[in-house]
Structure 1
Amino acid sequence: MLKRGHGEHKKTCLKSGARFCPSTVAERCFFFFVIHVVLAQEKDKKKRCTSQVVHPQWRVHSDKLRNALQVSRAWCGWTGRPEFRQTSAQLTDRVKDLLDVAVAWRLRKQGLPLWVGPEAQECLKDFFVDVSQSVGRTPWGKCGDNVLCFTKSTVLYSFQRGSLVHPLEMARMLGWPDNWEAPAGVPLNKIKEMLGNSVALPSLGSVVWAWRLVQSRRM
């Protein structure tokens, strides 16, 4: 029985549509070695990708602001208190981090140590933060110091009370009288949206008064 030569074997492989058909032992060993190397590289690449931790965007902004304030990521002076864990356990990690960064920012601005004691709590009176916003926007302020701009999604947190602000209380912050009540049948979230699209009554009154004053001088 005649054996086919090497050239005839290659022609047969090409006719059958095979891309690579090793004929010798050396070619086969080299072929399997290349496959082994490629598979090992792919496995190592997947392992590196899974080991890399991709931080959310709010964590990146938080780390940047904490570095500027010289505050470590582990610092949780406000949310680490026992009374906070009992009353605000439903808040997310993003919101808790936002509260801690806001407290650190306030204490640094006032030249106080990073310790939430009686002096710090006195400093945090009338201090609010909009927990619906990103920490990169620094959405906090103190009444009489900075004015927070309400939006349809605004959710205020009061450091003086250690809890979220009710939508009706937000209406009073915009100048509505204390005896004002929400219309019957209107959900609170709708009231909050309307407050976010409204203008503070004292500001509106000042604008109208200034306009009337200018008009009276022209007459």
Structure 2
Amino acid sequence: MARVPAWKSQAVDLRNRMGCAMDYKPWTRKQRHFQGLHMLPRPLEVVELAAIAHVGPPPQKQHGRMRQLLRDVFVDVSQNPVRQPWTNKSMISPCLTTSTVLYCFERDRVVLPLELMCWQGHKADIIVPATMSQSSLRDLAGQGICLPCLAMLIGAAAGCGAFQK
């Protein structure tokens, strides 16, 4: 007997908590392009779970406005469902990792590695060596931290007395 992958069990648990069946597909039931996304069951399920988390379980009457409702939502399809790696209701997105593959609902595509670098505070005209692969650039974006965020962390640590002897 074949073992059920962990992500499938996690998806079933999340869907049960969200009040919807496994066959409820609010995002992928329509013709989508999913540009740059590997069309495998796990990434597609993580995309669906993110959509359900924002739109709600059936019978929502918002399917005509789906793209509008999800326009600011991103989901890291490299992560398992249990992590809920999508923009939350407060519009806070998950942090970038070296394995991040971020899907953008508004554009119906994966966010490019150079765009991830811009999220880290780099300018759009950053010069990337021609020999650098897209996966290396994605790794670099996932290893970085935006300087204002770093300054906030240092300031918070200083305010807590973390630097005092």
Find the counterpart in structure 2 of residue 113 from structure 1.
Answer: 60
Q: Is the 8 A contact 1:77 1:114 kept in 2?
A: no
Identity of aligned residues (%): 27
Q: Is the 8 A contact 1:127 1:159 kept in 2?
A: yes
Counterpart pick for 1:92 among 20, 23, 40: 40
SS at match of 2:87: strand
The structural deviation recorded for 1:144 is 6.8
Counterpart pick for 1:134 among 45, 55, 80: 80
Q: Which structure features the higher share of helix residues?
A: 1
Listed as ranges, the gaps of 5+ residues in structure 1 are 1-48, 213-219
TM-score (norm 2): 0.82
SS at match of 1:157: strand
Counterpart pick for 1:83 among 23, 26, 32: 32
SS at match of 2:63: coil
Matches within 5 A, 1:13-162: 49=1, 54-84=3-33, 87=35, 90-108=38-56, 113=60, 115-118=62-65, 120-141=66-87, 145-162=91-108
SS at match of 1:83: coil
For residues 143 and 180 of structure 1, the distance between their equivalents in structure 2, rounded to whole angstroms, comes to 32
For residues 77 and 211 of structure 1, the distance between their equivalents in structure 2, rounded to whole angstroms, comes to 43
The structural deviation recorded for 1:172 is 0.9
Q: Is the 8 A contact 2:78 2:99 kept in 1?
A: yes
Find the counterpart in structure 1 of residue 139 from structure 2.
Answer: 193
Poorly superposed stretches of 4+, deviation over 3 Å: 87-90, 205-212
The structural deviation recorded for 1:208 is 6.4
Q: Which has the higher contact order (CA 8 A, sep 6+)?
A: 2
What is the aligned-residue RMSD (CA, Å)?
2.9
For residues 183 and 143 of structure 1, the distance between their equivalents in structure 2, rounded to whole angstroms, comes to 38
For residues 140 and 129 of structure 2, the distance between their equivalents in structure 1, rounded to whole angstroms, comes to 12
The structural deviation recorded for 1:90 is 4.2
Find the counterpart in structure 2 of residue 9 from structure 1.
Answer: none
Highest CA radius of gyration, 1 or 2? 1
TM-score (norm 1): 0.63
